Amino acid sequence: MCEVDEFKTPNGKTVRFHALVHSSIRIEFDGKEIEVDPCGKLGDKKIDYSALPKADYIIVTHEHYDHLDKAAVKQLCKEGTQVILNQSSADEYGAGTVMANGDRLQLAEGISIEAVAAYNTTKGHQQFHPKGRDNGYILTVDGLRIYIAGDTEDIPEMADIKDIDIAFLPCNQPYTMTPEQLVKAAKVIRPKVLFPYHYGDTDLSSITAALANENIDVRIRHYEIN
C-alpha cells in the first residue's frame, strides 16, 4: 500500500496525495483523478494502473521513460481524459495538450495549472534537462497551491514561485538536486509542506534537520526505487 496524505482546501474540500514511485503521484480531488508522471515499472517497483481509477487529467513533466510511460498513460485514459505535457512529450506520445513554460490553463471549475521552468544548471549536467524544454507545474485546486517541480535544479525562476501550500522537489544528482540544493530551493519557495521526491537512493536525512527552524513541514515518503 502506498502512503496517502490528506489536506483540506481553503473551502474545506479534501485533496489526497498517493505516493506511488519516484515522480509518480496520484491526486484525488472532488471526484476527480489526477495522475502525475505515471510510470508502471521502475527497478523492483511496479504500479498496476489497471487497478486504479481512470484519470481525468494526466500531467507529464517531460519525455524521459521514468516520467512518460506511454503504456501507463494509455491504461489510465478514458473518454475525455486530458493529457497535459510539454512539446517533446507530445511528440513522443503523439497526442495531448501542450504547455510551455509560462502557459496557464483552466482545466475545470476550481482546477487550474501553470507550466513553469525546470532545467539543469550544473556544468556537465545541462544536457539532461536543457532550459526551456521541460515543465514543472503549479496546480491549483480550490485555492490549494501545489508545486510539482519536475526534473530541475534550484533555478532562479523559483524566486517567482510564491504562496505554495505543498511542494514536490526532486533530489538526486546528476539529474536533479543535491540535498543542499533542495534545502536552498525550499528556503526560497517556502512551502507549508515539502515532499522530497524522485530521490533514488539519495540520503535525505540532512534535509529535515536543515529545515527544522524554517516552519516547513518536511514529509519523507517512499518515492525511492528499490
Q: For strands 193-197 and 217-218, give the pairing.
A: parallel
Largest CA distance in the chain: 47
Number of structural domains in the chain: 1
Mean pLDDT, to the nearest integer, of 201-210?
Answer: 92
- Does residue 46 form part of some domain? yes
- Does residue 98 form part of some domain? yes
- Does residue 33 form part of some domain? yes
- Does residue 97 form part of some domain? yes
Integer Cα distance of 118 and 195 in angstroms: 17
- Does residue 80 form part of some domain? yes
CA distances from 46 to 43, 62, 176 (A): 8, 20, 23
Identify the pLDDT of residue 44. Answer: 87
Please report which confidence band the pLDDT of residue 38 belongs to, taking 50, 70 and 90 as the band edges: very high
Mean pLDDT, to the nearest integer, of 1-20?
Answer: 95
- Does residue 126 form part of some domain? yes
- Does residue 226 form part of some domain? no
Integer Cα distance of 30 and 74 in angstroms: 23
Mean pLDDT, to the nearest integer, of 4-17?
Answer: 98
The three grid cell numbers given for residue 74, joined into one nine-digit string:
494509455
Q: How far is CA 10 from the centre of its chain?
A: 21
- Does residue 150 form part of some domain? yes
Q: Is the pLDDT of residue 1 over 90?
A: no
For residue 171, what are the domain limits? 3-218
CA distances from 179 to 20, 133, 196 (A): 21, 24, 9
Residue with C-alpha cell 502525475?
A: 36
Please report which confidence band the pLDDT of residue 226 belongs to, taking 50, 70 and 90 as the band edges: low
**Which CATH number covers residue 195?**
3.60.15.10
